[in-house]
Amino acid sequence: MSWIDDKARSELAIVRENKERQTYPYFREFESGGLHTSVGGKPIINFSSNDYLGLTNHPKVKAAANAAVEKYGCGLSSSRPQATTTEHVELEKRLAKWFGYESCLLFTTGYQAMLGTIVALADKDTTLVLDSYSHACILDGTFLAAGIPGRAPEVRFFNHNSAKSLERILKTRERKNALVLIEGVYSLDGDKANIKEFVEICERYDAVLVMDDAHGTGTLGTRGTGILEETGLKDRVPVLVSTFSKTFGGIGGILLGRSDIVELVKHNARSFLFSASLPVPVVAAASTILDMLETDGPAMVTELHQKAAYMRGKLKDIGFELGASNTHIMPVMCREERKTVFMHIGLFESGVMMVPLIYPSVKHGEERLRVNVTRGHTQEDMDTALELLKTYGEAFFVLSGEEIGPME
Ligand code: PMP
């Protein structure tokens, strides 16, 4: 055990020190759900939530989940080959139709959906081509595939969102097949994929494009089906992966594509076959959110965009730098670890939660607060947050860009 003790001691020293100083910003314990919650009895407005349309706590969603608990219980105690319900299959059919794909498969998380899809599709004849800012599920799926003896694909990275860099990689790849993995909206920067150019390059070099639109689902396109609706490119992107953990208010992974591709993944994705089936209350909640999107999607997306535009305008007026963001995800760049953590603490103590993103989540010099505007935020929430951001942005030299002193 001693090597584990040593490892834990050294790796956890910083966490322990921050906890003692009460400057540890993660694993805050919410005492209720929703964007308006409390921590330690103190009201908190959450501005780092991914509940983009504010539907997670809608009374209809809760009622559907409650009814499903009565009928099916909290879980199914088995994986999908042994525990599929009519509710799973019905929702898969409805999602395929809503997104406009032939077929859909529900995973237990979006992370598992991507892991399973990569491992099922990539083999020794494949080059996996990744954006350098890829989400952990894309990286982990790739590393998992690359570690399978006798099946390992080649792995190559291209510069974030650079069509030129992608083209160079595809041209010089060593394997005959290529799987290109991108995201619709990058969650740390809030920028959108350079999708049109990527689609054209993938077609030119006979590569299969896999899109993870976790953050575009419910936020982009007139109906809210994502970046492929917004750009009109759906029919040129063969595989789409998304999640229930943002707009769909719960947990669950979504794979969409041609029937034969989805069938292939269904029978080969180990993260699907060997992990518990999505609980039916979660399926029922997502299904109810889909009802709402089908009827009121356009109005809800418009409302989100109006709120995001208001917040963006005001943040810019105050003088904050928002990096490459052009969506509802607006990182407030602080560019220094202590400034970022101090901003977080000041805001948190005043009732606003904005999670600090520091190294290694982002590069040194690119530290920022995660600010997600959602449809569920009120005008008052946004104005409160803006006023506090201005106060602490001045106090901790984020707005002036001056260096911050020792402050021990
Ligand atoms: N892809 C992206 C781009 C994400 O941001 C996330 C979640 N943060 C996931 C996939 C994983 O989704 P889930 O939470 O459903 O596992």
- How many angstroms separate the CA atoms of 63 and 289, rounded? 12
Per the listing, tokens 């030119």 go with: 204
Q: Look up the ipTM and state it.
A: 0.99
- How confident is the model at residue 345, as a pLDDT? 95
Distance CA 174, CA 155 (A): 10
Q: What is the pTM of this model?
A: 0.95
Which structural domain range is residue 237 located in?
A: 59-292
What SS3 state is found at 360? coil
Task: Report the SS3 class of residue 342.
Answer: helix
User: Cα dihedral angle (40, 46, 51, 56), rounded to 10 degrees?
Assistant: 40
Rounded to the nearest angstrom, the distance between the alpha carbon of 308 and the centre of ligand 1 is 21
Do both 109 and 189 map to the same domain?
yes
Q: Does residue 102 form part of some domain? A: yes
User: What is the CA 9 to chain-centroid distance, rounded?
Assistant: 31
Half-sphere exposure of 143 (CA within 13 A, CB side): 7
What one-letter code names the amino acid at 82? Q
CA of 362 to the centre of ligand 1 (A): 17
Residue 227 and residue 359 in one domain: no
Query: Does residue 184 contact residue 216 with C-beta atoms inside 8 Å?
Result: yes
- For residue 308, being part of any structural domain is answered with no
Q: Give the Å distance between the CA of 186 and the centre of ligand 1.
A: 11
Distance, in Å, from the CA atom of 296 to the CA atom of 284, rounded to the nearest integer, reads 18
- Tell me if 405 is assigned to some domain: no
Output the CA 49–ligand 1 centroid distance in Å: 13
Return the H-helix or E-strand segment holding 154: strand 154-158
Query: What is the whole-number distance in angstroms between the Cα of residue 231 and the centre of ligand 1?
Result: 22
Ligand 1, atom 4, residue with closest C-alpha: 214
Phi, psi (rounded to 5 degrees) for 116: -65, -40
Q: Do 373 and 275 share a structural domain?
A: no
- Whether residue 323 is contained in a domain is answered as no
Examine the domain organization and report whether 366 and 223 are in the same domain: no
Ligand 1 atom closest to the Cα of residue 110 is 15
**What is the whole-number distance in angstroms between the Cα of residue 241 and the centre of ligand 1?**
10
My answer on whether 45 and 82 are in the same domain is: no
Burial of 198-229, coded b for 16+ CB within 10 Å and e otherwise, reads bbebbeebebbbbbbbbbbbbbbbebbbbbbb
Q: Which residue do the tokens 């990569």 mark?
A: 118
Return the CATH number at 80: 3.40.640.10
Residue ID of nearest Cα to ligand 1 atom 12? 110
Rounded Cα gap, residues 159 and 182, in angstroms: 11
Cβ atoms of 343 and 334 within 8 Å: the answer is yes
CA 223 – CA 218 distance, rounded (Å) = 8
Same domain, 210 and 358: no
Could you give the C-alpha distances from 198 to 85, 166, 183, in angstroms and in order? 38, 8, 11
Report if residue 299 sits inside a domain: no
- Domain boundary (292, 316, 339) is at 292
Protein residue with its CA nearest to atom 1 in ligand 1? 214
Neighbours of 341 (CB within 10 A): 20
Q: Are residues 154 and 279 in the same domain?
A: yes
At 46, which CATH number? 3.90.1150.10
Pocket of ligand 1 (CB under 6 A): 109-111, 114, 135, 137, 183, 187, 212, 214, 243, 245, 253
**Quick one: which H or E segment has residue 363?**
none
Residue 342: what pLDDT?
94
SS3 of 78, please? coil
Distance CA 372, CA 193 (A): 18
Structure tokens given for 44: 């908190």
Q: Do 204 and 347 fall within a single domain?
A: no
The verdict on 143 and 207 lying in the same domain is yes
What whole-number distance in Å separates Cα of residue 358 and Cα of residue 127? 31
User: Do 285 and 251 form a contact (C-beta atoms < 8 A)?
Assistant: no
CA-CA distance, 122 to 177, in Å (whole number)?
9
Which of 292, 320, 355 is the endpoint of a domain?
292
For residue 22, the model assigns a pLDDT of 67
Low-confidence ranges of the chain (pLDDT < 50): none
Contacts 24+ apart (CB under 8 A), 93-99: 94/287, 94/290, 95/254, 95/256, 95/290, 96/256, 98/223, 98/225, 98/290, 98/293, 98/294, 99/225, 99/226, 99/234, 99/240, 99/242, 99/254, 99/256
pLDDT of residue 249: 86
Same domain, 94 and 69: yes
- pLDDT tens-digit series, residues 305-336: 999 999 999 999 999 999 999 999 999 999 99
Q: Does residue 297 fall inside a structural domain? A: no
